[in-house]
Amino acid sequence: MREAVAARVSIDSSLCQGHGRCYSVVPELFGFDGEGYGVVLESAISADRVGLAHAAAIECPERAVVVDEAQSDDTNA
Amino acid sequence: MSSEVENLGTAAAEFNYWDPRWGQDPYPMLEHLRKSGGVGWSTALGGYWAVSSYSGVLRVLTDPDTFSSRMLVLPPLDPPQRLIPETLDQPEHQPYRRVFSSLFTPRKIRELEDEVRTLTRELIGKATAKPAFEFVSEFAVPLPCTVFLKILGLPMSELDRLLDVKEAQARGAASDDPVLRDRALNVVLPAAAAYFNEVLDERAADPNPPDDVLTAMVTQPAVGGVPMPREDMISALFQLVSAGLDTVTAVLGLSFELLASRPDLQRQLADDPGLIPSAVEELLRYWGIVTISRQANVDTQIDGVPIKAGEYVAILTPSANRDEIEFGNPTEIDFRRTGNRHVAFGAGPHRCLGSHLARMELQIALEEWHAAVPEYRLASDTPAERHFGAIMGLEELQLAVGAR
């Protein structure tokens, strides 16, 4: 059964400079590409993971991690 | 008390971050600068805006179109020293940076972990075999320098020469002392350029080149599908030597001085090694050792303060990282701090290329020290001598094993 989508997580690639804070702090949701820039492993997250997404967002010096809770359940993951 | 504030006010108008007066404890001055608005004019160093607020520092770092990197250190040198890739602006910067960035990715750095751990254990074993030891020369210099020279592709036997080059660049070339300045500009730096040229020749002729920075430079295209010009390779080596041989050493020295006087913090790390990654971030925040400059390309503003085209600004990271508007209890060390958006590695397109390496080394150093040494302390009652400037740090640090 698919869990309800509570938020969408993204990384603004125009802001990300590869500090690596998101994937160090929350490896559950973030990884890195060949050059060390952050990538989102799971973009449509359930309510129990929203806290994790915010935990990464508040560590990003570039403010590149975006957690959008307004866009939730009505579109497909 | 009020006369102290008055004195700081007078001193702020001519604040020179190289002045030995601020070396030992710059923090009351930095706090004064933040409380006076965070962006203030200083008549020192040819005249510049001292940017001490977190918001101001972040703004300058993340707006490279407005703030050029062409002059990284004040007072301005004429002509400016071209350091690749740090003094390049866009669009020139990106292709150059790419040549180096492939050697400092998280994946590449992970491959070095075992080697770094082995070296760390050896250095700790040697130092702590004696009742007291000098932490900087016995650990904080050899650990990062051994690793860094390997990544560059230069032999450890050249370390003393390269430390001399780093010193000549960091302090000699801009020194008020004509003897020091002459030695730096006319002896040390030209000799180093000749040496770099020689090793690049050797590497270009090597049929089986190792995977390191020298090889990347002579083989990888930078601009227009061809490797960068030789003078740019030499400039890049100067930049790498100055960025790589001083910074982790400085953070280790300052952090272990603090830890040696705080058995409670040592115990936290020994009891819960899982805390170490966030402890590394907290120590990076607490020290934020780097102060570099930018030059405004156009009339602009920082935190509402008008800045004219051509004016210089100094980015006081050691102050931004303790800005009470961004960080709760900024003068306290909290290894469990969250929301730690420190700018110890800068921000924007020039974000420190070696940050993953630095973090890995700091993490392993903290893990291995606190696993191997139950308690350590300052061996001297005299505080270690510190310096401010482009890279804060301390000259030496006498430590002893065991509780006081």
What are the tens digits of pLDDT across the range A47-74? 999 999 999 999 999 999 999 998 655 5
What is the number of other CB atoms lying within 10 angstroms of the CB of residue B404? Answer: 10
Q: What is the ipTM of this complex?
A: 0.87
Contact A58 B351 (CB under 8 A): no
Q: Is B339 in Cβ contact with A17 (below 8 Å)?
A: no
Q: Is the CB of A36 less than 8 angstroms away from the CB of B106?
A: yes
Q: Residues for chain A: how many in total?
A: 77
Least confident residue range of B68-82, B126-140, B287-301:
B68-82
The answer to whether residue A74 neighbours chain B at the CB level (below 8 Å) is no
- The closest CB to that of B349, out of A17, A35, A58, belongs to A17
Where residue B4 falls among pLDDT bands split at 50, 70, 90? Answer: low
Contact indicator for B194, B237 with CB cutoff of 8 Å? no
Asked if the model's pLDDT at residue B179 lies above 90, the reply is: no
The mean of the pLDDT values for chain B is 93
Closest by Cα among B262, B260, B248, B240 to B119: B248
pLDDT class of B243 with cuts at 50, 70, 90: confident
* Minimal Cβ distance to A35: which of B101, B343, B348: B101
- pLDDT of B127 strictly over 80: yes
pLDDT at B306: 98
Is the pLDDT at B266 greater than 90? The verdict is yes
**Residue B288 to residue B90: CA distance in whole angstroms:** 25
Q: Do B355 and A61 touch (CB under 8 A)?
A: no
B191 pLDDT exceeds 60?
yes
B324-348 confidence digits (pLDDT tens) = 999 999 999 999 999 999 999 999 9
Listed by number, the residues of chain A in 18-47 with a beta carbon closer than 8 Å to a beta carbon of chain B are 18-21, 23-24, 32, 34-36
- Residue B46 CB-density burial (10 A; 0-12 exposed, 13-18 middle, 19+ buried): exposed
Mark yes or no for CB contact B107/A59 under 8 Å. no
- Cα angle, residue A19 at apex, residues B170 and B365 outer, rounded to 5°: 65
**What percentage of residues in chain B have a pLDDT greater than 90?**
75
Whether A36 and B101 lie within 8 Å, measured CB to CB: yes
Q: What is the pTM of this model?
A: 0.93
d(CA B151, CA B212): 5
More confident residue, B62 or B224: B62
> Residue range B175-180: average pLDDT?
82
Say if residue A75's pLDDT is above 90.
no
pLDDT at B222: 83
Question: B340 to chain A: which residues are within 8 Å by CB?
Answer: 59
Question: Is the pLDDT confidence value at A76 over 70?
Answer: no
The per-residue DSSP string of B122-151 comes to HHHHHHHTSSEEEHIIIIITHHHHHHHHHH
Instruction: Sort out which chain A residues have CB atoms less than 8 A from B355's CB and list them.
Output: 19-20
Q: Which residues of B touch A34 (CB under 8 A)?
A: 105, 107
Beta-strand pair B312-316/B48-51? parallel
- Nearest chain A residue to B350 by CA distance is A17
**Confidence at A2, pLDDT banded by 50, 70, 90:** low
* Count of C-beta atoms within a 10 Å radius of residue B110: 11
pLDDT at B253 over 70: yes
Among A19, A55, A60, the residue with its CB nearest the CB of B355 is A19
Of A17, A20, A55, the CB nearest to B347: A17
- Across the interface, of B105, B340, B355, the residue whose CB is closest to A35 is B105
Q: Does A61 touch chain B (CB under 8 A)?
A: yes
Cβ contact A62–B339 (<8 Å): no
A60 at interface of B, judged by CB pairs closer than 8 A: yes
pLDDT band at B81 (very low <50, low <70, confident <90, very high): confident
In degrees rounded to 5, what are phi and psi of residue A46? Answer: -85, 170
The residue ranking higher by pLDDT, B163 or B172, is B163
Residue reference for tokens 């040819």: B46
